């Protein structure tokens, strides 16, 4: 087991178990609550009295520190089971919610994650914002501290970026991200962050693309129509109570309010459909109504109870059909003015065009990579599969792979740059 060559500073903490008792198959990203340097993070983990550590830390200047070698288990996530299988990474962050990290930290985090995945045979990062999937690494191999302890960590900023982080890392790993959102520079109050979070959440639920777009159209039409402030407390600034806000949504003046709008859309949605809705639930849980993923999970639970709506969503033949199923079967008494109905269809179509059509029209460019073949009996085949003819034996050596494909006989096939044929990538190691 190796450590990252990207490390700029090493100070090994005594707070660890050596060696870890499980193979590395999980990533846990944390916020360190302070714009700290790698040296300061090292100071924090140095005394055994601290009782905590992390495999890596990223300082505010983007340098990377190592505090527990990858072969060892860090004390980071309040869960021995998690820390034994996870690489834990602390990121320099703001000291207050949403514990934002700067661009340098974000970039270093992506680089470090790509390196960790490549060295440890993690083929892609998977994120579904679903605590119930802890340990099911084939479905989700990223975990967060807040699932194991009563903590905000990694903070809403990084939490909401997990889908995007996975997409960016996977793109660098050469994994096609399908209908996943295109990578973009993270912005704390970005409209697209909210959209992507919702899109990624819904895409993992077994709905077809029309249904996902239809739901998104409903959410955004029903919310402030200006979904760009996921974190800002506009409500407070405007001296609005939840009830006043709800009334404003109902009487059509809600365009004025832009706070936390994607989440608020969900709140309105369930509030009006069930009378006792998401806001009340959030209050009872003591949870921040800004926590979009919590709201999404709750919404999903609600929506899943409407069998007829769900059946329609699973087979929806158009954005409009999905949108109408929600409108008539689930949302019922919500704002159904002509203006909102029009917006709903427009927004749904917009998301469909943006995330589905665009993704289908322009598949992510494949980045060629080098592999090393050590096996002496590997065959080059005419196509990606053992059902195609053998071209010749592939002598040990280094080869450039210019395309990947699924096919019988191997978990993945790679096309050789010589265009001579394809080899089973299970017998080639990325170098
Ligand atoms: Zn943490």
Q: How far is the CA of 34 from the centre of ligand 1 (A)?
A: 12
Q: Which helix (H) or strand (E) holds 430?
A: strand 428-430
Go through the domains of the chain in sequence order and give each one's CATH number: 9-172 (3.40.80.10), 191-361 (1.10.530), 369-430 (2.30.30)
Res 23 pLDDT > 90? yes
pLDDT digits (tens, 9 = 90+) for 177-202: 433 333 332 222 334 555 666 677 67
What pLDDT is stored for residue 374 in this prediction?
Answer: 87
Please tell me the least confidently modeled range out of 182-191, 374-383, 387-396. 182-191
* 57-73: average pLDDT: 97
Mean per-residue pLDDT of the chain = 77
Q: Per-residue b/e over 75-87, b at no fewer than 16 CB within 10 Å?
A: bbbbbeebbbbbb
What pLDDT is stored for residue 176 in this prediction?
Answer: 60
What pLDDT is stored for residue 285 in this prediction?
Answer: 42
What pLDDT is stored for residue 260 in this prediction?
Answer: 37
408, burial (CB in 10 Å: exposed 0-12, middle 13-18, buried 19+) = exposed
What pLDDT is stored for residue 20 in this prediction?
Answer: 94
- The strand ranges marked E within 263-409 are 369-373, 379-381, 390-393, 397-407
Q: How far is the CA of 47 from the centre of ligand 1 (A)?
A: 18
- Comparing 275 with 23, the larger pLDDT belongs to 23
Q: How far is the CA of 157 from the centre of ligand 1 (A)?
A: 13
Q: How far is the CA of 31 from the centre of ligand 1 (A)?
A: 6
Q: Is 148 helix (H, G, I), strand (E, B) or coil?
A: coil
Between CA 165 and CA 107 the distance in angstroms is 10
Q: How far is the CA of 202 from the centre of ligand 1 (A)?
A: 26
- Comparing 112 with 378, the larger pLDDT belongs to 112
Q: How far is the CA of 44 from the centre of ligand 1 (A)?
A: 13
- Comparing 253 with 383, the larger pLDDT belongs to 383
What pLDDT is stored for residue 221 in this prediction?
Answer: 60
Q: How far is the CA of 139 from the centre of ligand 1 (A)?
A: 22
Q: 380: phi > 0 → left, psi -120 to 50 → alpha, else beta; which?
A: beta
What pLDDT is stored for residue 308 in this prediction?
Answer: 79
Res 391 pLDDT > 80? yes
Q: How far is CA 4 from the centre of its chain?
A: 23
Please tell me the least confidently modeled range out of 18-27, 70-79, 165-174, 274-283. 274-283
8 A C-beta contact, residue 354 and residue 180: no
- Comparing 321 with 118, the larger pLDDT belongs to 118
Q: Per-residue b/e over 122-156, b at no fewer than 16 CB within 10 Å?
A: bebbbbbbbeebbeebeebbbbbbbbbeebbbbbb
Comparing CA positions, the residue from 210, 191, 164, 178 lying closest to residue 359 is 178
Q: How far is the CA of 117 from the centre of ligand 1 (A)?
A: 20
Indicate the pLDDT class of residue 270, thresholds 50, 70 and 90: very low
Global pTM exceeds 0.75: no
Q: How far is the CA of 137 from the centre of ligand 1 (A)?
A: 20
323, burial (CB in 10 Å: exposed 0-12, middle 13-18, buried 19+) = buried
Q: How far is the CA of 430 from the centre of ligand 1 (A)?
A: 31
> In degrees rounded to 5, what are phi and psi of residue 224?
-70, 0
Indicate the pLDDT class of residue 38, thresholds 50, 70 and 90: very high
């Amino acid at each position: 087991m190796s450590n990252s060559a990207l490390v700029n500073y090493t100070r090994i903490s005594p707070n660890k178990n050596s060696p870890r008792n499980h193979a590395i198959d999980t990533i846990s990203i944390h916020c360190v609550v302070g714009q700290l340097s790698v040296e300061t993070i090292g100071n924090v983990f140095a005394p055994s009295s601290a009782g905590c550590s992390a495999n890596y830390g990223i300082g505010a200047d983007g340098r990377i520190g190592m505090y527990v070698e990858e072969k060892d288990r860090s004390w980071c996530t309040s869960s021995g089971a998690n820390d034994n299988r996870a690489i834990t990474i602390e990121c320099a962050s703001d000291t207050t919610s949403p514990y934002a990290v700067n661009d340098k930290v974000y970039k270093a985090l992506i680089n470090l994650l790509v390196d960790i995945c490549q060295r440890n045979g993690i083929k892609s990062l998977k994120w579904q914002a679903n605590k119930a999937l802890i340990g099911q690494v084939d479905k989700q191999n990223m975990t967060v501290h807040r699932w194991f302890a009563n903590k905000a960590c990694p903070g809403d900023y990084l939490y909401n970026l997990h889908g995007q982080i996975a997409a960016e890392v996977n793109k660098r790993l050469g994994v096609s991200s399908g209908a996943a959102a295109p990578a973009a520079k993270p912005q704390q109050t970005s409209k697209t962050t909210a959209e992507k979070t919702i899109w990624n959440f819904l895409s993992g639920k077994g709905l077809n693309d029309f249904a996902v777009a239809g739901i998104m159209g409903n959410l955004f039409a029903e919310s402030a129509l200006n979904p760009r402030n996921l974190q800002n407390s506009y409500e407070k600034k405007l001296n609005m109570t939840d009830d006043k806000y709800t009334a404003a949504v109902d009487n059509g003046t809600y365009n004025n309010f832009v706070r936390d709008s994607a989440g608020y859309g969900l709140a309105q949605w369930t509030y009006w459909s069930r009378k006792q809705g998401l806001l009340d639930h959030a209050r009872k849980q003591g949870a921040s109504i800004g926590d979009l993923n919590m709201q999404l999970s709750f919404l999903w639970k609600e929506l899943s109870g409407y069998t007829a709506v769900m059946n329609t969503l699973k087979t929806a033949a158009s954005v409009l059909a999905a949108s109408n199923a929600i409108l008539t079967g689930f949302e019922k008494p919500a704002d159904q003015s002509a203006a909102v109905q029009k917006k709903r269809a427009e927004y749904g179509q917009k998301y469909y065009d943006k995330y589905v059509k665009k993704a289908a029209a322009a598949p992510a460019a494949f980045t060629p990579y080098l592999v090393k073949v050590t096996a002496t009996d590997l065959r080059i085949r005419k196509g990606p599969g053992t059902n195609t003819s053998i071209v010749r034996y592939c002598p040990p050596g280094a080869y450039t792979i210019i395309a990947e494909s699924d096919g019988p006989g191997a978990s993945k096939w790679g096309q050789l740059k010589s265009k001579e044929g394809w080899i089973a990538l299970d017998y080639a190691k990325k170098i």
